[in-house]
Amino acid sequence: MRLLKVLSAIFLLASAQAWAQDIRSDKYPRPGAVPAHILPRPLPEPKTWEVTAGAAMTADANISHLLVNSAVNSNAKVKDNIRHLSAGFSAEPAFAKKAGLELSYSFDDYAYRTHTAFSYKNHSLAAGVTPGLGKAWNLDLGWDMDLVKDKTGTIAEDSGAHAGLIWHGPGGLRIKGGYERRKDNVRTNAMKDADTNAAYLSANRRFFKRHLGFVSLRWQAHAAAGPDYSFKARSAVLGLISRWTPWFKLVTAAVRVEKDYDNVDTRFLKLRRDATNSVMIKPVFTLAHGLSAVGSFTYMDNHSNVSMKSYSDRIYSVGLEGRF
């Protein structure tokens, strides 16, 4: 089912339902360069719970790149607009303050306007504890799970747990490292069921009061049921969060991911190697207490030794976010 570039837009729309199962499973797991537990957390707030809600419109210049592990031309330049609704709740119960217990739930609804077979909903649950191990150390334990659905039912689910340590160094330096184990269950394609073992290391530090710099590294081995889907990957993220004024914040990040597949791909007859570079710029404007206008621009560029899996993409997004 190869998507020819010259007929890409017509063929993608006409064939969407024919290979809808592969589209959905290839979108999963959800996008994101870095697991949430290795990103810098905001300064603690006095309240012990928070509710979030958001709405955004995204313009993606090349949704074909979402089909990471299918025999479809990833640089077909098929455009679409996506409506994204989100909601979430997090709590840090007072009775477990010493343990640093945090519980959270989030919901995301991605609705593709033209190529509706790409649309899906994601439910996420997470729990974590960070009990102290002296003045400078914390234990970091957590668990999370995701459930991905569309109009036909459940597409996939995964769950994971991590264990690590957090070190609080001089000058506000914070370093975190540990091990993560994940299990993916892709109901639409059993060959993509997988177990993942990963190690991560991250650091962040605030400087000049208004800036927070962060860096993270991740190594993972993804062992799938099907030989075409197993790989080893390395990723690095470098970012900066700057609060320039009380009402304006700017987030910038650069990401590199290198992925080496374990076996010769039966479709491409090559031992596939991919390297993806991306940059993201995200301005945030405070409109009122708890309400922000958010924009973002992301550029992605993937180099693969399988020519049809090389691609570039530009993604623009604008929306509103509320925190209560």
pLDDT in tens, 301-311: 999 999 999 99
Residue 215, CA distances (Å) to 32, 104, 234, 238, 252 in order: 15, 24, 14, 5, 12
Residues 181 and 197: beta-carbon distance below 8 Å? yes
Looking at the chain, the whole-number percentage of residues with pLDDT higher than 90 is 73
Confidence bin at 250 (pLDDT 50/70/90): very high
Q: Average pLDDT of the chain?
A: 87
Tell me the three state secondary structure of residue 225: coil
pLDDT in tens, 195-229: 999 999 999 999 888 999 999 999 999 999 999 99
Decide if pLDDT at 76 tops 70.
Answer: yes
Residues 106 and 91: beta-carbon distance below 8 Å? no
Looking at the chain, the whole-number percentage of residues with pLDDT higher than 70 is 85
Q: Which pLDDT value is given to residue 27? A: 53
Between 63-72, 171-180, 186-195, the lowest mean confidence (pLDDT) is in 63-72
CATH number attached to the domain at 5-323: 2.40.160.40
Confidence bin at 32 (pLDDT 50/70/90): very low
DSSP state of 132: B
pTM, full prediction: 0.85
Q: Which pLDDT value is given to residue 7? A: 32
pLDDT in tens, 155-165: 999 999 999 99
- The ranges assigned to domains in the chain are 5-323
DSSP state of 11: H
Task: Give every CB contact of residue 261 below 8 A, 6+ residues apart in sequence.
Answer: 228, 230, 231, 271, 272, 273
